[in-house]
Every structure is written in C-alpha cells, then in structure tokens.
Amino acid sequence: MKNMKRFLTLCLALCMVLSVAVFAEAGAPGTIKEITYAGADYADGDVNFALTYDDATENGMYLILVLSEEGTPKNGNILYVNQVTADADGAYFENVYPTEIGEEESYIYLAGPEGYKPLGKIIPNVADTDVTVIPVGVGEDAYTVEGRKVTVDYALPCKLGYEKADGTYAAIVAEANGDGTYSYNVPEGIDEVVLVVKGDVSGDGKLLGPDIIQAKAAQLGKLTVTELKKFAADVSGDGKLLGPDIIQAKAAQLGKLTLKW
C-alpha cells in the first residue's frame, strides 16, 4: 500500500512538472476529441479498452492517465495511471482499466518526453441506452435493437436513417450478417432512427406501382413530398432523388432487379 501511494505521488509530481512546462507555453488543453475504443466494456460502471499510440518517442517512457475532469492531474481526480515504454518504432499498446467511471465523461492524458497532452475522452454507459426505431410500413417484429445496433429482418430491402439538422435524412450503412438479416450501427449522438422499405413512398411496407408514380412525379418537381418520402425513394442511397432511382425502383417492382440493402 505504501509503495502504491509512493508511486502515485511520483506520478503526480512528474505530471505536474510536465504540465506546468506545457501550459506555461500553450495555455490550457485544447478541445478533447472523442475516441471510439473497439471492444469497450461498460459493464458495472467500469470500462476497459485497448489504447494505441503511434507518435511516441522511440523507447520513451510515458504515463497514461485517466482523469475525472479536464486539466492537470491532482489529488482526487486520477481514475487510472500507469507507466509504459514505447517500442523502437515509437508506438505502444496498452490495456487500460480505470478503477471507476461515473455518469460524467472522463478524460485521457499522456505525459512523456513531448509534454502533457490530451488523447481523448470516455463516454460511459453509451451501450446501455437503446436507440429508438420508428418503423414506416413494417412491424416491430421486423427489427431488434441492442444498444446502438439495429438488426433488420424483412422480406424487402430496407433503409435505416436519421433526421439531420436541416430536415433531410442521412442513411446508415447496412452490414450483412450472412443469415439474411442486416445490421446498422447507429452513430453516437443519434437516439432516434427511421426504418423504411426502399422505394416505398406511400409508407405501407411494399414497393408497388403507385410508389413509382409518386417518386417519378417528385423527381420531376410535379409533386411535393416530405423529406422522409424522398429518403425512401432514394434507393441508391446517395442522398438524392434522381432518374436512376426511379429506374431501379421500377425494375425491382417488376421483379427484374433486386435492390441492395
């Protein structure tokens, strides 16, 4: 226990020396960007992740710190600290296990030969909140939600997307699961998504002749439709309603083409 306290004291002292030198020249840390860590585990309020850093000094010694607040380390705000040594290529890999993660964001810093600087931040428990899906023309049995992952099982190709600030919709890329279902990983910050059938302008869960007629009229500017209907009619997924979308939808409606998810 005494050795651990001595280690933390030395770490704190080193970080303070480095931070004073850096902040005296550059001021407070800049905006800390959010980093997504593959394989993050947010269970039971703890988090662990693999951290890689490729711009280190060859064989340089570093301290990795996770703090409960932005800024310099001090008594009470250090959640994790560990000393690592970069390899001969100036890189290292480290599994990081903070002792506790609360409801607030936590911040990752690096202290070493280059000074003291932010690496990123941890947003806890993001996997605990399910995304809300608004289905259009399909039943709730057509999809499942697990955290930020939406899996769709439907007879017709579908689109999943979210409304942007300007009122238009952005599509999320579908990933085939190999069993006929498709999954979508919803970006951070998006809590609500819509699920539509590709080409289904009417919103009944089918691709029929009237859908093609409405889409064609909207594409020619002869019919005003909502942004959600435009999103469904855009079967190519490029964010625009153009002639090729009408051609593909028509071919799919006649059974001559299978639309991509």
Is the pLDDT confidence value at 8 over 60? Answer: no
SS3 content of the chain, % helix, strand, coil (to 5): 25, 30, 45
Ordered alpha helix ranges (H), 137-226 = 209-219
> Picking from 29-43, 147-161, 222-236, 247-261, which range would have the lowest pLDDT averaged per residue?
29-43
Decide which of 18 and 97 is more confident.
97
Report pLDDT for 228: 97
Report pLDDT for 119: 78
What CATH number belongs to 2-125?
Answer: 2.60.40.1930
Report the DSSP pairing between strands 158-163 and 92-96.
Answer: unpaired
Is the pLDDT confidence value at 9 over 60? Answer: no
**90-146 tens-digit pLDDT:** 666 666 666 555 556 788 888 888 888 887 777 654 444 578 999 999 999 999 998
The structure tokens listed for 179 are 């069993």
Is the pLDDT confidence value at 255 over 90? Answer: yes
**151-177 tens-digit pLDDT:** 999 999 999 999 999 999 999 999 999
**175-223 tens-digit pLDDT:** 999 999 999 999 988 999 999 999 999 999 999 999 999 999 999 999 9
The pTM for the full model equals: 0.54
Q: 76-101 b/e with 16+ CB inside 10 Å = b?
A: ebbbbbbebebeeeeebeeebebeeb
Domain edges within the chain: 2-125, 129-253
**47-87 tens-digit pLDDT:** 566 666 777 788 888 888 888 888 888 888 888 888 888 88
> Picking from 21-25, 46-50, 224-228, which range would have the lowest pLDDT averaged per residue?
21-25
Give, as one character, the DSSP assignment of residue 188: T
